[in-house]
Amino acid sequence: MGNTATRRREFRFRLDPGTGIPVYRQIMDQVTAAIASGMLAPGDQLPTVRQLAVDLSVNPNTVIRAYRELEIRGILDTQQGSGTFISRKEIRRDELDHGRLLDQFVADVLARAGSAGFSAAEVAARLREFATGNPQQEEQ
Amino acid sequence: MGNTATRRREFRFRLDPGTGIPVYRQIMDQVTAAIASGMLAPGDQLPTVRQLAVDLSVNPNTVIRAYRELEIRGILDTQQGSGTFISRKEIRRDELDHGRLLDQFVADVLARAGSAGFSAAEVAARLREFATGNPQQEEQ
Amino acid sequence: MGNTATRRREFRFRLDPGTGIPVYRQIMDQVTAAIASGMLAPGDQLPTVRQLAVDLSVNPNTVIRAYRELEIRGILDTQQGSGTFISRKEIRRDELDHGRLLDQFVADVLARAGSAGFSAAEVAARLREFATGNPQQEEQ
Amino acid sequence: MGNTATRRREFRFRLDPGTGIPVYRQIMDQVTAAIASGMLAPGDQLPTVRQLAVDLSVNPNTVIRAYRELEIRGILDTQQGSGTFISRKEIRRDELDHGRLLDQFVADVLARAGSAGFSAAEVAARLREFATGNPQQEEQ
DNA sequence: GTGGTCTAGACCACG
DNA sequence: GTGGTCTAGACCACT
């Protein structure tokens, strides 16, 4: 019986060309998205700068910049010589604040979904699929 | 006995600052999303360049650029002197695929959630409450 | 024993003032004509945006616009940070049809000739003299 | 036995959309081109402003502007109440000047043809076809 | 009043 | 040094 409680799904970075979104932002977004969906958790190690640069066919400076900005935001910790990790520092706030901020966040999502013509139900459904790790189809 | 002649909901553009996504792309995306969801239909007139520029507090050139790229892609028709319209020609389905747009939207929500310290699961749950008639409404 | 490694003629852009044709279109047309005639081939690098802007005494934005529209049409590839290149992907034949481009060119010559008081017949005759080795050369 | 010496080919205006060339210029160019190729000759009457505007699905002001600019250049004569005609005033210049100007004109054509990858021979040939009225294929 | 072209120039993303 | 985004503002083409 392996330890199934802490097992996480494999996580791969993928770039989306032609969107006009800067590569360093795409990297940042994928890290934070992976945290939200449980694919990465505090303490996990990220790929090395050079490895990720090779994987994405991207200049190492671009990866460095993404990691650096995430570190500034307190999301990553860089430990010289051993690598880059998801920060273990919990975001400190009490339950009341958390609930209030979550409501604000969700209200904003709703407004944006409405503008784009999505219903709250379908967004919630798709989000749950991401969170629980159902197989996602590749887009060519 | 309401006025049934106006069959579509009013459509408002909204910019999303601080995402790093170019403004002209946000405009393009909102137009395609609005078409995909039926809020805009072939033949409908878009806001004038200058009006939308004022609404979004953006330079007219930025709006022109968004409209122009959509025209090159066959999604809009512009008629000098009279305005800009949703093209009546067949629009390529894949440009407007609902599932693809939803996936993009959800990926974006996920990135924001992770960055703000929320899990996908809790966002989905709260969203579902909103969807199923929770009395709380978005706050302005 | 000349240097045969450089297989293509040098290509120079030239603007045609006073035609009413937008500068960005003239640039686009010259790129497509150069490809159609083999002066530029897939993979070739174009002048940098700023260099061409200086050469033509034109604003860099105007060059960017020309390059960008050609990219949207699949004729150019731009690589951030390294330059702009003729696309290696198959280019649609009709964009580059030699006969069509020639017809456009001749229609333009005709319009100028009439405006300047020359008949098509005499222009054709003089042109043929140049073509068949008449000693007169163009004057600067 | 009709009078074949003065018979001219039928002349129709056609707009070329999507070129970015202003409509009024396209009209002007077609008039001067028709003169160069002998389809219109001094004294010939042009379509009325309203008729041409209807034919081209264009605003009458646009046609008015084209005619007015050609009149300013001395190419058209407008006779209030009877219509618009190709000017009978010959462009005055002696043979020497004419030859010199023609050479300049042809040299310019040659330079532009070279830039676009056309040979003098093929331009001359196509030009002669226009001048002698060979059947031109429509371009869709 | 509609969209279109262009300039001058600041600042950003990327290699 | 490469291309990209955006602004401010002038002037043009067309209905």
- List chain B residues with CB under 8 Å of A33: 107, 110-111, 113-114
Span CA (A14) to C1' (E15), Å: 20
Instruction: List the pLDDT tens digit at each of the 140 positions of chain C.
Output: 444 343 455 678 988 887 888 999 999 999 998 888 888 899 999 999 999 999 999 999 999 999 999 998 889 999 888 899 999 886 666 666 788 889 989 999 999 999 888 999 999 999 998 888 754 444 43
| Contacts for B47-54: CB closer than 8 Å, 24+ residues apart | B47/B13, B48/B83, B48/B84, B49/B84, B52/B13, B52/B27
Predicted pLDDT at D139? 39
CA distance A71 to chain B (A): 12
Helix (H, G, I), strand (E, B) or coil at A76: strand
Residues 10-69 of D with CB under 7 A from strand F: 22-25, 58-59, 61-62, 65
SS3 category, B78: strand
Secondary structure (3-state) at B77? strand
Nearest C-alpha in C relative to D113:
C105
Nearest-nucleotide field for B79 (CA, C1'): E3
Asked whether residue A55 carries a pLDDT value surpassing 50, the answer given is yes
B66-124 per-position pLDDT tens digit: 999 999 888 999 988 899 999 988 666 666 678 888 988 899 999 999 988 899 999 99
Beta strands in B44-122 (DSSP E): 76-79, 83-86
Backbone φ, ψ for residue B45 (5° rounding):
-90, 140
Element (H, E) at A78: strand A76-79
Q: Do D107 and C138 touch (CB under 8 A)?
A: yes
Q: What is the pLDDT of residue A90?
A: 65
How far is the alpha carbon of D33 from chain C, nearest alpha carbon, in Å?
A: 4
Amino acid whose CA is nearest the C1' of E1: B81
Distance of CA B6 to the CA centre of its chain: 20
> How confident is the model over A110-119, as pLDDT tens digits?
988 887 888 8
Which residues make Cβ contacts (< 8 Å) with residue B135, sequence separation at least 6?
Answer: none
How many whole angstroms separate alpha carbon A41 and alpha carbon A37? 9
Q: Identify the H or E element spanning C68.
A: helix C60-72
By Cβ distance, the residue of A38, A111, A139 closest to B119 is A38
Q: Which nucleotide is nearest to A62 (CA to C1')?
A: E14
> Which nucleotide is closest to the Cα of B25 by its C1'?
F5
| pLDDT for res D103 | 93
pLDDT at A133: 64
Angle between helices B49-56 and B23-36 (to 10 degrees): 110
| Strand C76-79 with C83-86, pairing | antiparallel
Distance in Å, residue A101 CA to nucleotide F1 C1': 44
- Which residues on chain C are in Cβ contact (under 8 Å) with D104? 139
- Strand E positions closer than 7 A to protein CB: 1-9, 13-15
Q: Nearest residue to F15 (CA, C1')? A: B81
HSE-CB for C1 with a 13 A CA cutoff: 0
Residue A17 has pLDDT above 70, yes or no: yes
Q: Tell me, in Å, how far CA of C105 is from C1' of E5? A: 23
**Rounded average pLDDT over B41-56:** 93
Average pLDDT over residues D38-63: 90
Among C95, C127, C139, C140, the strongest candidate for a mutation testing the D interface, having the largest count of D CBs within 10 A, is C127
pLDDT at B9: 55
F1: residue with closest CA to C1': C81
The pair of three-digit structure tokens given for residue C110, joined into one six-digit string: 């005709």
- pLDDT category of residue D134 using cuts at 50, 70 and 90: low
Contacts of B73 in chain C (CB under 8 A): 72
Distance between A106 CA and the closest CA of chain B, angstroms: 6
Q: What is the pLDDT of residue B77?
A: 92
Cα(C62)–Cα(B41) distance, rounded to whole angstroms? Answer: 33
